[in-house]
Amino acid sequence: MSVQRAQPAKSQPTGPSAQGDRFVHDRLPAPQLLPQMRYDLPELQLPGQLNLVEELLDKAAAKGWADRPMLRSSKITFTYAEARVQVDRIAQVLTGDLGLVPGNRVLLRGGNSIGMALSWLAVVKAGLIAVATMPLLRARELGDIIDKAHPVAAICDARLLGELELARKDHPALRTVLHYAAPDDPQDLGALASAKPGNFTPCRTAADDIALMAFTSGTTGKPKAAVHTHRDVLAACEAWPRHVLKAMPDDIVMGSPPLAFTFGLGGLLVFPMWAGASVYFPDIPYTPDGMVKLINEVSATICYTAPTFYRQMAPFAKAHGLPTLRICVSAGEGLPDATRQLWKEATGIEMLDGIGATEMFHIFISSAGTDVRRGAIGKVVPGYTAKVVDETGDELPRGTVGKLAVIGPTGCRYLDDARQQNYVKDGWNYPGDAFMQDADGYFFYQARDDDMIITAGYNVGAPEVEDALLRHPAIAECGVIGKPDEERGMIVKAFCVLKPGHAGNEAMVKVLQDHVKASIAPFKYPREIEFVSALPRTETGKLQRFRLRQPG
């Protein structure tokens, strides 16, 4: 099959690039390794010259949103008009005081906060490339990112400066570090910005200029850098948010995914701005009971977090109620049906599930409300096409488990990485998931490709066993892997975190094994169970099964 590589549709003329620094553009995959891009819907017909922050922020006033709240915290609320002034001032510091030019990379280090959000928007509005990093990264990990992205400047929460300064000692190319949340520091970004006039002309970026570089969250232990253009981000706004989420200007959004993770960047900044809604950023890290209380205190209507956190929140939600909450988005890892039903029983809310990828920017399979089908993630989001294929890329009959392949208005472009050829094949994106699609078009998640356990000739999906275990009242969390075995090739092994009051002994092992045998096909039961106090997870809540597989 012939495919159109990553070029705009014919109605999408690309304007001249504003990015004088071509470092990222020159390290994109070869043309034959680029994904096919499709802009089939009218709303995806974007102009060839655009700046995504100009579209989302500067044009908010024309939509009647200038005086609507945009960014909230316990201390301050910025309207769209006020946020624009702050963003413009920061952009002037970056381009005027620092002399940064379009295409330069700016590393961003901080938790979810108004300061982080304003800084990200200013970087992109100035035609620079945002390289947001997870706040818990250490100096060695930050050094790896600096080696890959070659940022020339950084904006860092003053409370997280230590590890960045350690990394900077070995990476002198990172010339300047500005701080925020440090009001007495002459390098404080707020102080520098306050002296600037509140107007900045958006950089005239081409739609296909790079806006951000997102490092994968490391479930495999080997992060990669995915790049996305201004067009990618705006096209993503016209897909899942428009057709599935359907947020409104009166919505107040909260959630736990970091802005450095594209799930958090979309859900907690870009998508609310597209809808004219507002986002609340907490002053302290979320706890399950704390999030429930804060949702009620600020009257939040939309919540984003991972399945594990919803499971932990459920008893508090049931006890306190969540009267204002109307949409609960689960993503970042597979949603066990046991968790979906637990949350629905506690709140009456049908969770909105979805699967996306850093490489695709955000969610591409999802369903909401009456379109939800039990056990399914949902249908393909308008604007995307998805299919289940075999090893050669041929589509499989409905009801057959195979690899997921996706095409749409976003796609994978790794920065200078040989693994591009594993993700994009013949123009299609392969996120690395095993799925089954039913006759009605619903997609059922089975496992990550490397989480499919083949034991004595049978295929067993780790998430299915985890879902069965989570239905037992003694289980708080669990993770399932395949363990090499001479007789069976692999056996199913479970790592279980027990709720208080339950003992991790041989009797409990048998109870759980019998429970799984009674819940799903008996050959899928875990032949080995190890009780642990906690499971290894990324900052975004994803289970790191590769760490469970490591010996010792």
Q: Considering only 110-124, 276-290, 383-397, 459-473, which range has the smallest mean pLDDT?
A: 459-473
Q: Per-residue confidence at 5, pLDDT binned at 50, 70, 90?
A: very low
**pLDDT band with cut points at 50, 70 and 90 for residue 270:** very high
- pLDDT over 70 (residue 23): yes
Four-way CATH pick for 229-446: 3.40.50.2000, 3.30.300.30, 3.60.120.10, 3.40.50.12780: 3.40.50.12780
Does the domain made of 455-549 have the CATH classification 3.30.300.30? yes
pLDDT value for 222: 61
Is the confidence at residue 284, as pLDDT, over 90? no
Written as one string, the DSSP assignment of 1-27 is -----S---TT-PPPPP-----TTGGG
Residue 295: helix, strand or coil by DSSP?
A: helix
Q: What share of the chain is helix, strand, coil (3-state, %, to 5)?
A: 35, 25, 40
Residue with token string 């306190």 = 320
Q: Are 351 and 310 in contact (CB under 8 A)?
A: yes
> Which one is predicted more confidently, 88 or 370?
88
CB atoms within 10 A of CB 296: 16
pLDDT at 317: 97
User: pLDDT value at position 519?
Assistant: 84
The answer to whether residue 464 scores a pLDDT higher than 70 is: yes
**Which residues are within 8 A (CB) of 5 and not within 5 positions of it... i.e. 6 or more apart?**
31, 32, 34, 35, 36, 427
Helices (H), 359-478: 420-423, 462-470
Tell me the domain boundaries of the chain: 229-446, 455-549
* CA-based torsion, 334, 337, 343, 348: positive or negative: positive
Q: Is 523 exposed, middle or buried (0-12, 13-18, 19+ CB in 10 A)?
A: middle
Specify the pLDDT at position 504: 95
Return the top range by mean pLDDT from 74-88, 171-185, 358-372, 434-448.
74-88
pLDDT in tens, 81-136: 999 999 999 999 999 999 999 999 999 999 999 999 999 999 999 999 999 998 88
pLDDT of 533 reads 95
Give 53-86 pLDDT, tens digit per residue.
Answer: 999 999 999 999 999 999 999 999 999 999 999 9
Look at residue 306 in the predicted model and tell me its pLDDT: 83
Q: Which of 76-80, 257-261, 330-334 has the least mean pLDDT?
A: 330-334
Give percent of the chain above pLDDT 70. 93
Residues above pLDDT 90, as percent of the chain: 69
pLDDT at residue 184, as a whole number:
63
pLDDT given at position 429: 97
Query: Given a cut of 50, is residue 510 above it in pLDDT?
Result: yes
The mean-pLDDT minimum among 35-49, 57-71, 184-198, 421-435 falls in 184-198
Residue among 244, 274, 471 at smallest CA distance from 369: 244
290 neighbors 74 (Cβ within 8 angstroms):
no
Average pLDDT (265-271) is 97
Looking at 275-279, 382-386, 547-551, which range is the least confident one? 547-551
pLDDT at residue 219 in the model: 43
Query: For residue 177, what pLDDT is reported?
Result: 86
CA–CA separation, 434 vs 376, rounded Å? 13
- Write down the pLDDT at residue 216: 82
Q: Is the pLDDT of residue 8 over 50?
A: no
Residue 397 burial (C-beta neighbours within 10 Å; 0-12, 13-18, 19+): exposed
DSSP secondary structure, 457-472, as one string: TEEEEHHHHHHHHHTS
Query: How much is the pTM?
Result: 0.83
pLDDT at site 253: 98
**pLDDT class of 488 with cuts at 50, 70, 90:** confident
Taking each helix axis as running N to C, give the angle between helix 161-169 and helix 139-149, from 0 to 180 degrees, rounded to the nearest 10.
60
- Residue 186 pLDDT grade (very low, low, confident, very high; cuts 50, 70, 90): low
Least confident stretch, 129-133, 181-185, 358-362, 537-541: 181-185
What's the chain's average pLDDT? 90
Phi-psi region of 375 (alpha: psi -120 to 50; beta: other; left: phi over 0): left
Averaged pLDDT for residues 286-305: 95
pLDDT surpasses 80 at 160:
yes
Pair 127, 209: CB distance under 8 Å: yes
The CA-to-CA distance between both ends of the chain, in Å, stands at: 47
